[in-house]
Amino acid sequence: MSDLLLALGVFAGSFGIGYLLISRVPPQLHTPLMSMTNAISAITILGALLLFSVEMSPGQKAVGALAVVMAIFNVVGGFAITDRMLGMFRERSRKS
Amino acid sequence: MYFIEHLIYLLSALLFVVGLKQLSSPATARRGNLMASFAMLLALVVTLVQYPPITWTWIVSGIILGSLIGAVAARTVKMTAMPEMVGLFNGFGGGASALVAFAEFLHFLKDHTPQASLAEASTIQLGMLIGAVTFSGSLVAFGKLAGWITGNPVTNRFIQTVTALLFVATLGVGVYLVLGEPTLPLFLVFTAGALILGVLLVNAIGGADMPVAISLLNSYSGLAASAAGFILGNNILIIAGALVGASGMILTNLMCKAMNRSLANVMFGGFGVEGATAAAVGAEGKTVRSVDAEGAAMILGYARSVIVVPGYGLAVAQAQHDLKKLCDLLEERGVDVKFAIHPVAGRMPGHMNVLLAEADVPYNKLYDLDEINDMFPDTDVALVVGANDVVNPEARNPKSIIAGMPILDVDKARQVIVMKRSLAPGFAGLDNPLFYLDKTFMFFGSAKPSMQDLVRAVRELS
């Protein structure tokens, strides 16, 4: 049970830090923010990889493999599309 | 090794945080994204080294397949299709978390000790619930944004009752799975309940409220990852998931505020029937002044200052490049051109910014609601392209259904040109008094050809 409490503490702390940091992201970057955090949320791929570290049934393997495909699609696609978008944001000197 | 593993996980968590911090300025944002992707790679490698899989075939082929699809999708998707793409990514993240919860449940069925089972079982149910709702909900959002299913809210008393009952029933099954005897069929029922719940919840949200739905699902996808972290007792999952959860929550709040509506109202209000109660105020007896491309070109070409107000219609028509051409021509004539961006213009947070960035409009010409509203009274022409409700002065009328929604004060500019297909009302189903003002000229037609005509006409001005 103390493990759970510790985990809850980690969650609350990270949520707080995230809230403070992300409040400072300007509206113009909100779409890249979404697609980047999207990719970060696919961190769940670690959970999918861990499934394969122990012996498992074919059914479990299929579930695990599907999870890996979906998550890595999200990771690669999410970061790549964010990079593509951010590459388009350009500042030029303001004309008077 | 245990020590090194955790040190690297910590480093990767720190890189996520620093990467997000870099996103506070467009100048450093790209580096921030690189940092976060490096952090992800780090966490992946450490996990594979520390807990090597028994068989590599599944993992390697899965990674190659998923990466390829992801990379191709990211390269080829059009910027105008960005909202549905974000929805799809959301869904896949949530789906992956749900699958992890599912696999863990299968483990749990095989060998669970009574004393450890309570915490473990409840985190598995929670992970599955959030993951499944995110997955099915995001796919519905994707369908709505891509135009595959109706953008109108699908909701009524009956559906709301069913949704509420289903929610209670699903929770009930979840509680029984934790406290009673966990079985696979029952868990499948629980999963199905969560999936249907996701469909019903997002289907009840109208197309124009999608910025809220997308942000909320974004938040859920993070919470789903956190829940998977709780199941596995893995801190990096909890941390990364919480960061995403917080981000989505902030965006959800901002979007709700920009419409002056509560989250509950957005989710259950059934707002956003496009053209439903058309002309609630009644367009009869009121006259509009319309203008053709040449007339609009005269007004714009001889103005000193123009503020462009883009809306979803611009994205639909994909007229952003023509708009950019128009603005370049106007600037060559010495006209000062600015852009006014409403937070809920478009279908996701920051939609217009991305669209205009793609058309190579520099971001320092783009102004937020607070910055630009004071400038309208000193502006010669406000050019509204495909926007409606975000410029509806009815929001200042306390009796209106959009009362209190922050709007762009285009009616304070000296003249207004509205580019629009027809007088049809926007998502609020509300007539727009702006169209009937003496200073307003309606330039009817679909955005792209109209914009091209306008570019031609401005070029022909002496």
Is B212 found in the same domain as B247? yes
Considering only CB atoms, B93 lies closest to which of A64, A71, A86, namely A71
Distance CA B25, CA B30 (A): 9
Phi and psi at B304, nearest 5°, equal -90, -35
Task: Write out A8-75 in H/E/C secondary structure.
Answer: HHHHHHHHHHHHHHHCCCCHHHHHHHHHHHHHHHHHHHHHHHHHCCCCCCHHHHHHHHHHHHHHHHHH
Average pLDDT on B148-153 reads: 82
The DSSP symbol for B388 reads -
Query: Which residue has better confidence, B96 or A94?
Result: B96
What strand order describes the sheet that includes B366-368?
A: B289-290, B440-444, B415-420, B381-385, B305-310, B336-341, B366-368
Domain boundary among B268, B301, B317: B268
Q: How far is A24 from chain B (nearest CA, A)?
A: 6
Structure tokens at B275: 């053209």
Query: Which residue has better confidence, A56 or B410?
Result: B410
Domain boundary among B268, B294, B327: B268
User: Is A92 within 8 Å of B233 when comparing Cβ atoms?
Assistant: no
Query: So what's the ipTM on this one?
Result: 0.93
Tell me which chain B residues have a C-beta less than 8 angstroms from the C-beta of A25.
20, 23-24
Which residues on neighbouring strands pair with residue B366, listed in sequence order? B339
Please check whether residue B66 is in contact with residue A76, taking contact to mean a CB–CB distance below 8 angstroms: yes
Please check whether residue B41 is in contact with residue B15, taking contact to mean a CB–CB distance below 8 angstroms: no
Domain boundary among B236, B268, B300: B268
Is B298 found in the same domain as B194? no
What's the confidence (pLDDT) of residue B159? 87
pLDDT tens digits along A73-83: 999 999 999 99
Is B232 found in the same domain as B298? no
Please check whether residue B319 is in contact with residue B186, taking contact to mean a CB–CB distance below 8 angstroms: no
End-to-end CA distance of chain A: 63
The DSSP symbol for A93 reads P
Structure tokens at B82: 């960005």
Smallest Cα–Cα separation from A76: which of B332, B45, B89? B89
User: Is B254 within 8 Å of A27 when comparing Cβ atoms?
Assistant: yes
B322 within domain boundaries: yes
A92 shares contact with chain B (CB less than 8 Å) = yes
Amino acid at B173: V
CB atoms within 10 A of CB B71: 16
Is B335 found in the same domain as B415? yes
Tell me which chain B residues have a C-beta less than 8 angstroms from the C-beta of A65.
58-59, 61-62
Is B254 found in the same domain as B145? yes
Smallest Cα–Cα separation from B124: which of B180, B194, B177? B177
Mapped onto helix, strand or coil, the DSSP state of residue B366 is strand
Structural domain that includes position B162: 77-268
What's the confidence (pLDDT) of residue B140? 95
B348 within domain boundaries: yes
Please check whether residue B266 is in contact with residue B212, taking contact to mean a CB–CB distance below 8 angstroms: yes
User: Is A67 within 8 Å of B100 when comparing Cβ atoms?
Assistant: yes
B203 within domain boundaries: yes
Phi and psi at B346, nearest 5°, equal 95, -165
Distance CA B394, CA B387 (A): 14
Please check whether residue B442 is in contact with residue B290, taking contact to mean a CB–CB distance below 8 angstroms: yes
Is B261 found in the same domain as B148? yes
pLDDT tens digits along B402-446: 888 999 999 999 999 999 887 776 666 678 889 999 999 999 988
What's the confidence (pLDDT) of residue A54? 86
Residue found by looking up tokens 């259904």 in the block = B401
Over its C-alpha atoms, chain A yields an Rg (Å, rounded) of 19
- The DSSP result for B375-403, as a single string, is GGGG-SEEEEES--GGG-GGGGSTTSTTT
pLDDT tens digits along B20-40: 999 999 999 999 999 999 999
Is B148 found in the same domain as B223? yes
Please check whether residue B13 is in contact with residue A43, taking contact to mean a CB–CB distance below 8 angstroms: no
B101 within domain boundaries: yes
Whole-number Cα distances in Å, B9 to A53, B1, B43, B222, B237: 18, 12, 6, 18, 10
Is B423 found in the same domain as B312? yes
Smallest Cα–Cα separation from A86: which of A28, A38, A5? A28
Is B325 found in the same domain as B254? no
pTM summary value = 0.90
pLDDT at residue A60 greater than cutoff 50: yes
Phi and psi at B418, nearest 5°, equal -110, 120
Amino acid at B453: D
Residue B28's H or E segment, with its range, is helix B26-50
Tell me which chain B residues have a C-beta less than 8 angstroms from the C-beta of A61.
55, 58
Is B367 found in the same domain as B233? no
Tell me which chain A residues have a C-beta less than 8 angstroms from the C-beta of B231.
47
B201 within domain boundaries: yes
Whole-number Cα distances in Å, B134 to B45, B198, B224, B446, B447: 27, 7, 8, 35, 34
Phi and psi at B75, nearest 5°, equal -70, -45
Which of B110-124, B208-222, B355-369 shows the lowest mean pLDDT across its residues? B110-124
Whole-number Cα distances in Å, B113 to A44, B117, B125, B185: 25, 6, 17, 21
CATH number at residue B403: 3.40.50.1220
Tell me what the pLDDT averaged over chain B comes to: 89
Tally of domains in chain B: 2
What's the confidence (pLDDT) of residue B278? 39
What's the confidence (pLDDT) of residue B180? 84
Angle at B98 between CA B101 and CA B63, to 5 degrees: 100
Please check whether residue A39 is in contact with residue A74, taking contact to mean a CB–CB distance below 8 angstroms: yes
User: Is A68 within 8 Å of B350 when comparing Cβ atoms?
Assistant: no
Is B256 found in the same domain as B303? no
pLDDT at residue B279 greater than cutoff 70: no
Residues present in chain A in total: 96
Phi and psi at B305, nearest 5°, equal -140, 140
Query: Considering only residues 50 to 79 of chain A, which have any Cβ-Cβ distance to chain B shorter than 8 Å?
Result: 50-57, 59-61, 63-79
B60 within domain boundaries: no
pLDDT at residue B116 greater than cutoff 70: no
Following CA atoms B46, B51, B55, B60 in sequence, which dihedral angle do they give, to the nearest 10 degrees? Answer: -20
B332 within domain boundaries: yes
Average pLDDT on B376-380 reads: 95
What's the confidence (pLDDT) of residue B271? 62
Which of B46-60, B90-104, B349-363, B425-439 shows the lowest mean pLDDT across its residues? B425-439
Average pLDDT on B146-165 reads: 86
Is B233 found in the same domain as B337? no
B11 within domain boundaries: no
Catalytic positions of B, written as ranges: 389
What's the confidence (pLDDT) of residue B185? 94
